[in-house]
Amino acid sequence: MNSYVSAVLNDLKTRYHWEKEFLQAAEEVLDSLTPIVEREPKYKAHKILERIVEPERTVMFRVPWMDDKGEFQINRAYRVQFNSAIGPYKGGIRFHPNVTLSTLKFLGFEQIFKNSLTGLPMGGGKGGSDFNPNGKSDGEVMRFCQSFMTELFRHIGPDTDVPAGDIGVGGREVGYMFGQYKRLANEFTGVLTGKGLNWGGSLVRPEATGFGVVYFAEEMLKSKGDSMKGKKVAISGFGNVSWGAVTKANDLGAKVVTISGPDGYVYDKDGVSGEKIGYMLEMRASGRDKVEDYAKKFKGVEFHAGKRPWEVAVDVALPCAIQNEMDGKDAETLLKNGCKVVVEGSNMSSTLDAVKLFVEKKILYAPGKASNAGGVATSGLEMSQNSMRLGWTREEVDQKLRNIMIGIHNSCVTAAKEYGFEGNYVIGANIAGFKKVANAMVEQGLV
């Protein structure tokens, strides 16, 4: 790390010492930028690092709502509008009890580089609330979403900031938020993505993040003359990203032997395939948040309570649940058991220890900001279709998604090579994502 990079990072660590997740994301990115800031003195002269780590704007608000018993409830909510150098703020909304400003700053910061990597004109943002949708009735979720949007609507717009889903926010929540936005703004616009198919949504958006993860893994393997075909795969989570990844892994001839939930993981030696993939959607819709249900439903499936799937011997691991779901110990176990490919579906799936180990051992490791960009990329395609007032077919969207993932893979490989770190997707993704945003910031002056 050079002196400019470490000065900015140290200042950040002092100023925001309690923001653990944000500091972790910032350290991972800034650490990789040393080669480019050394080669290009203009970034230091324009204080690009000092500027890029501060959100352009953060909105914080309370969300009052009434539960089914008639009791008043209060949650905290945020929208971090991190960077708009290359397009309107774009990024999901997360409803999860562990959401804090630090969580959303980490996610918004990652989103800047991820969105840049897609090649589409999207800035970085993220929002959310500590509301827990599990166990809530439809009516409660609707009232919460409406109250949330009653404040958020004045800060967003199709050319300003375009939110989408994330953990705890799927089609149902996007629907309730869109309805309230439309009512308040008196406008039918593409202000959110992940919309329903009958009212402006894009085909393949629900599958896109998981499909993209597997397309990316396939490209990485291809660069070594290999493929996903016949690979034994561990996937974590059972939500939207996992579901898409399981589906595409099966399409490409791999065998997925695990999925997981907050209660533990299941090992399915016969593979998560066919009707079992559909059951993942049922588990999600049940709101129970228990993957043990899968082991009870299907024969020959083992349930491992309180454990993560990384102890299973596999060729490929696809963490698709939540940040920091793979730590140094998990990484060691995976490597010891012969895993050679780790491709992140969740944002910042791996702790810094785990990342360090993957990079040192030179396995095929892709950070989420590159490999999970298919979701936001397809959101970008949804925005294009909304602007045109036309829709593409499933095949057209899927082909564009695949090409975008191939493009991101190539950008990572090329940038890593150009700066002397061949095969390092962490440095490749960070440099390639940063360069475009940083140059736009330089060209747009001190704003």
Instruction: Out of 32, 193, 240, 424, point to the residue binding ligand 2IT (CB under 6 A).
Output: 193
**Contact call for residue 240 and ligand 2IT (CB under 6 A):** no
Tokens of 36: 């480019």
Q: 21 to 50, contacts with ligand 2IT by CB under 6 A?
A: none
How far apart, in Å, are the Cα atoms of 395 and each of 190, 283, 399, 400, 401?
22, 28, 6, 9, 10
Binding-site string for ligand 2IT from residue 112 to residue 141, where x marks contact by CB under 6 A and - marks none: --x---------------------------
Tokens of 177: 């938020």
Helices (H) and strands (E) counted in the chain, each on its own, are 18, 12
Whether 218 and 230 have beta carbons less than 8 Å apart is answered as no
Q: How far is the CB of 255 from ligand 2IT (least distance, A)?
A: 27
Q: State whether residue 392 is helix, strand or coil.
A: coil
- The residue annotated as part of the active site, out of 44, 90, 114, 126, is 126
Whether 425 and 28 have beta carbons less than 8 Å apart is answered as no
**Contact call for residue 92 and ligand 2IT (CB under 6 A):** yes
Q: In the bound complex, which residue of the shown chain has the CB atom lying closest to ligand 2IT?
A: 92
Q: Which stretch binds ligand 2IT (CB under 6 A): 19-27, 146-154, 289-297, 373-381?
A: 373-381
Q: Work out the angle at residue 414's Cα, subtended by the Cα atoms of residues 408 and 417, and round it to the nearest 5 degrees.
A: 140
Residue 126 annotated in active site: yes
User: Which residue from 258, 261, 245 is spatially nearest to 368, judged by alpha carbons?
Assistant: 245
Distance CA 112, CA 110 (A): 5
**Contact call for residue 200 and ligand 2IT (CB under 6 A):** no
> Which lies closer to ligand 2IT via its Cβ, residue 12 or residue 169?
169
Binding-site string for ligand 2IT from residue 343 to residue 372, where x marks contact by CB under 6 A and - marks none: ----x-------------------------
Q: Which stretch binds ligand 2IT (CB under 6 A): 85-93, 129-137, 321-329, 406-414?
A: 85-93
First to last CA, the chain: 27
Q: Which residues contact 396 (CB under 8 A, 6 or more apart)?
A: none
Q: Which stretch binds ligand 2IT (CB under 6 A): 89-97, 213-221, 227-235, 356-364?
A: 89-97
Instruction: Out of 30, 174, 245, 376, point to the residue binding ligand 2IT (CB under 6 A).
Output: 376
Q: Which stretch binds ligand 2IT (CB under 6 A): 88-96, 225-233, 287-295, 356-364?
A: 88-96
How many chain residues touch ligand 2IT (CB under 6 A)? 11
At which residue do the structure tokens 């907050």 appear?
262
User: Which residue from 327, 382, 330 is spatially nearest to 196, judged by alpha carbons?
Assistant: 382
DSSP category for residue 326: B
Distance CA 1, CA 12 (A): 15
Instruction: Out of 166, 292, 315, 398, point to the residue binding ligand 2IT (CB under 6 A).
Output: 166
Residue numbers of the site for ligand 2IT (CB under 6 A)? 90-92, 114, 164, 166, 193, 347, 375-376, 379
Known catalytic residues?
126
